[in-house]
Amino acid sequence: MARKAVTAAPAPGSHALLGASSSHRWLHCPPSARLCEDMPDTDSPYAREGSIAHELAALCLTQLYYKPMTKAAYTSARARILNALGFAADETEPGNADADAAAKTRARAAAAAAADAAVGVYLDVIRDDCALIYTGTPTVFVEQRVDYSYLVPEGFGTCDCITFGQDKDGLWWMRIYDYKHGKGVPVEAEGNPQLMLYALGALNAFRLIYPISQIAVTICQPRRESITSWSITPADLLAWGESIREVARQAFAGEGAMQAGDWCQFCPRAARCRERASTFTALEVYDYRLPGDPKNPLTDTELGQVLLIGERLDKWLDQLRKYVQNILLAGGTVPGWKMVEGRAVRAFVDQGKAFDLAKGAGIQEALLYVREPITLTALEALMGKKTFADTLAEQITRKPGKPALVPEADPRPPITKPTAESDFADTPQ
């Protein structure tokens, strides 16, 4: 029989100037906190989709561990959120917005099922940890607000989930869980400042209640098939907190040096930032005029360096392009640029009437429709993860993806070219 966990009800969320979610940016570029303070939120379709997925995760965890709702109310709330996730895919999945009504309905159902399956992975991680790591009844907090203002001025944030419990050796653990619905940018748990700030706030709030010996942080990013965890002692965590105290003070005061880097990606000021632009327009900074005889080819090291510069430049130009497009579409002007109409796409005014006319012209009805199977992910959502795995395990295979060139910092292992020895290792002599 499964253990019942003691839980706390979710607390309403809000945002701090030095929020944990933006800490990667303000820890590297302290002035950015104040410079972005009054800028409007650039709420992207992907951010809205992520917020809805977090709402689903919180609902499921609350029902699982806290159960404030009747079964009927829970089922209704869950269906409402899944419906919203389906509609969110109109903006986040390529081609969905322009699909016909029937295709759009199928795409929404598939998107909702896929999101449900992704959130299910996150729930399974927490459930498994509570069942397998803790020996007693764990305490579970969902959407718990934590305060780390004793180190970071006015600093607070909201944890997706926190659990407390003892392991088989009697040590008390605090585990911080963070759900990432995005599938674009991979996020690692090790040394992650967002989760470390959450952990500092949680440690400050609960250390007098629980004799915490170890802290673990876990980032679950199911749509990238990534679940990473990392542990740290309370002493090391507090030492890190002290190490950022001065940077946090500078950020709160709007002081310190501006610095461009990968943390600029989600900065609302990025497209207008002069510091960031200067790193791309001052080409001499990147040694494009490489030393040596111009007749000599680039070395492998130089190839790698130039390619890394190009990767960052591509991302910056793409962000800048979208920003200028939005200005022009809103009726503004940017000298030297204009928006023009793209390639026209044909569509039926009334598909049913068009098909009737086609049948009248001698086209067989069977030729007008294509029967399409649902996706593997959608079938898994329909059957449930356990039934799906038990029933179809032998029919599932993982096909290797197309080789992709990525920076060395990417967490995926490199493709290794087989050697002649390994090719013939199993060949009878």
Q: HSE of 30 in the Cβ direction (CA atoms, 13 Å)?
A: 16
Is residue 114 located within the same domain as residue 14?
A: yes
Q: Are strands 212-221 and 226-232 parallel, antiparallel or unpaired?
A: antiparallel
Is residue 298 located within the same domain as residue 156?
A: no
User: Please, which pLDDT band fits residue 295 given cuts at 50, 70 and 90?
Assistant: low
Is residue 144 located within the same domain as residue 183?
A: yes
Give domain status of residue 305, yes or no.
Answer: yes
Res. 361: pLDDT tops 70: yes
Whole-angstrom distance, CA of residue 214 vs CA of residue 166? 10
Give domain status of residue 401, yes or no.
Answer: no
Whole-angstrom distance, CA of residue 185 vs CA of residue 168? 36
Is residue 230 located within the same domain as residue 267?
A: no
* Residues sharing a CB contact under 8 Å with residue 122, sequence separation 6 or more, in sequence order: 57, 177, 179, 220, 222
Give domain status of residue 223, yes or no.
Answer: yes
User: Please, which pLDDT band fits residue 386 given cuts at 50, 70 and 90?
Assistant: confident
For the chain, the average pLDDT equals: 84
Q: What percent of the chain has pLDDT over 90?
A: 44
Mean pLDDT to the nearest integer, 86-107: 80
User: Please, which pLDDT band fits residue 11 given cuts at 50, 70 and 90?
Assistant: very low
Is residue 199 located within the same domain as residue 322?
A: no
Question: What are the φ/ψ torsions at residue 395 (nearest 5 degrees)?
Answer: -100, 5
Give domain status of residue 218, yes or no.
Answer: yes
Is residue 218 located within the same domain as residue 294?
A: no
Reported as a single tens digit per residue, the pLDDT across 46-65 is: 889 999 999 999 999 999 99
Give domain status of residue 135, yes or no.
Answer: yes
Res. 242: pLDDT tops 70: yes
Is residue 50 located within the same domain as residue 11?
A: yes
Is residue 201 located within the same domain as residue 55?
A: yes
Asked if 214 and 171 count as a contact pair (C-beta separation under 8 A), the reply is: yes
Q: Are strands 6-8 and 139-147 parallel, antiparallel or unpaired?
A: parallel
Res. 289: pLDDT tops 70: no
Domains contained in the chain, number:
2
Instruction: Domain of residue 114: give its range.
Output: 6-253
Give domain status of residue 350, yes or no.
Answer: no
94-108, 253-267, 284-298: least confidently modelled range:
284-298
Whole-angstrom distance, CA of residue 262 vs CA of residue 276? 10
- The domain boundary, picked from 292, 308, 329, lies at 329
Is residue 118 located within the same domain as residue 56?
A: yes
23-37, 272-286, 406-420: least confidently modelled range:
272-286
pLDDT at 186: 83
Residue 415 or 129, more confident: 129
Model-level pTM? 0.70
Mean pLDDT to the nearest integer, 67-95: 88
Give domain status of residue 51, yes or no.
Answer: yes
Whole-angstrom distance, CA of residue 55 vs CA of residue 158? 13
Ramachandran region of residue 396, left (φ > 0), alpha (ψ -120 to 50) or beta? beta
Res. 301: pLDDT tops 70: yes
Reported as a single tens digit per residue, the pLDDT across 416-428 is: 765 555 555 555 5
Mean pLDDT to the nearest integer, 128-134: 92
Give domain status of residue 395, yes or no.
Answer: no
Res. 220: pLDDT tops 70: yes
- The domain boundary, picked from 185, 220, 253, lies at 253
Is residue 249 located within the same domain as residue 267?
A: no
174-188, 233-247, 298-312, 368-382 — which one is most confidently predicted on average?
233-247
pLDDT at 240: 97
User: Please, which pLDDT band fits residue 241 given cuts at 50, 70 and 90?
Assistant: very high
User: Please, which pLDDT band fits residue 205 given cuts at 50, 70 and 90?
Assistant: very high
pLDDT at 130: 92
pLDDT at 13: 44
pLDDT at 217: 97
Q: HSE of 252 in the Cβ direction (CA atoms, 13 Å)?
A: 15
Is residue 125 located within the same domain as residue 174?
A: yes
Is residue 156 located within the same domain as residue 282?
A: no
124-133, 179-188, 287-296, 382-391: least confidently modelled range:
287-296
- The domain boundary, picked from 329, 350, 385, lies at 329
